[in-house]
Amino acid sequence: MACICFPEDAPAPRNGERYNFAAGPAMLPPTVLAQIQDELPDWQGSGLSLLEQPFTGAPFKGLMHEAEQDLRELLTIPPNYRVLFMHGGATCQFGLLPLNLLAPGQSADYLDSGYWAAKAIAEARRHAPLNIIASGAGDDFRSIAPLEQWRLDPRAGYCHITSNETANGLQLQHFPELSVPLVADMSSDFLTRPLPVERFGLIYASAQKNLGIAGLCLLIVHDDLLEAPRPGLPSPFSYALQAEQQSRLCTPPTFALYCAALMLCWIDQQGGLAVVADANRHKSQLLYQHIDASDLYHCRQRPADRSAINVCFHLRDPRLLPEFLREAAAAGLLNLQGHAAIGGVRVSLYNAMPLAGVERLLAFMRDFERQHG
């Protein structure tokens, strides 16, 4: 069998280190990568790789318990919430939410805030009637409808929001207290800031942004929402049954869970969520300040709704975009292309992105504007 050779994403950068601004899977901290590399052949002196550890054994159960406790401490999760480690990404939950949380024929409220909210709406509609409480489609998702414009249904089984729109560069800055359970897709800004967990009925987030690698979806679910599964819902997809079995009803995504455990420790070592939130705001503010003062770059999003995690902008002359992306990659600034449905430039500033990466990007943007402005 011939070997498969994988080409490099980009040529070696002209000025040293590469910075990965991908929206996901995202960059990992170098120290976490080094720990994975060091522990992979022999985990905790067991003589076995983590990849070979039985999920029913005491060592791996201990890892899951420690990861849950670390998460509970970081977010101050109340005791009447369960933490679930489930397979797949957030997209899997788009259909599982109505199947787990709604009675047959019961409706749910959804906020249409951008690309990923629309995906969640389309999938949920296959399983339940929905009420769209507000939509930003009228202004091409340049802002998020404020709470006073939400047309909420007090009989809804839950109200679904997308806390951060990675493709559109929008982010909810505050979370309301509602009369129905608030459900949030937080895939891209989970663990980037403190959260009032008690305001939510359920939070879900895929891991490959701020919590490790692809393959794991983490859920925080209020006990009151753990209902007996609907007839026909496979047991591994039931929140209640997974909670009963401590997320081990079937084999969990063990390697992704291990990486998540390392990332939780890393966030704690940085000083916790308040510290990383300040760092993320600082990184994004540097970019927005430069973009707003520029004659070449412009950001379409309303400032009050701009994401601190995914900075999206365009070049006033779109013909320059391919050259911008090529030269950025050559300078070691990788994966800056905007979402395929939106275009432009997207700078993803997850927790692992250091300030040095943003400063390198700003220097490149200034040089590019001097050449092409």
In angstroms, rounded to a whole number, what is the distance separating the alpha carbons of residues 266 and 259?
Answer: 11
Of 109, 209, 266, 283, the catalytic one is 209
Return contacts of 148-151, CB within 8 angstroms, 24+ apart: 150/109, 150/111
47, 120, 302 from 90: Cα distances, Å: 34, 9, 26
Report residue 325 CA to chain centroid gap: 24
| Structure tokens that stand for 253 in this block | 């995504």
Asked whether 206 and 187 are in contact (CB, 8 A), the reply is: yes
Of 43, 109, 112, 185, the catalytic one is 185
Task: Respond yes or no: is residue 119 known to be catalytic.
Answer: no
User: How is residue 14 annotated by DSSP?
Assistant: T
Asked whether 52 and 168 are in contact (CB, 8 A), the reply is: no
Which of 175, 159, 176 lies closest to 108 in space, CA to CA? Answer: 159
Beta pairing, strands 164-165 & 170-171: antiparallel
Sheet containing strand 108-112, strands side by side: 81-87, 216-222, 202-206, 182-185, 159-162, 108-112, 130-135
Task: Respond yes or no: is residue 116 known to be catalytic.
Answer: yes
Asked whether 281 and 353 are in contact (CB, 8 A), the reply is: no
Sheet containing strand 310-315, strands side by side: 297-298, 310-315, 345-348
Catalytic residue numbers, as ranges: 116, 185, 209
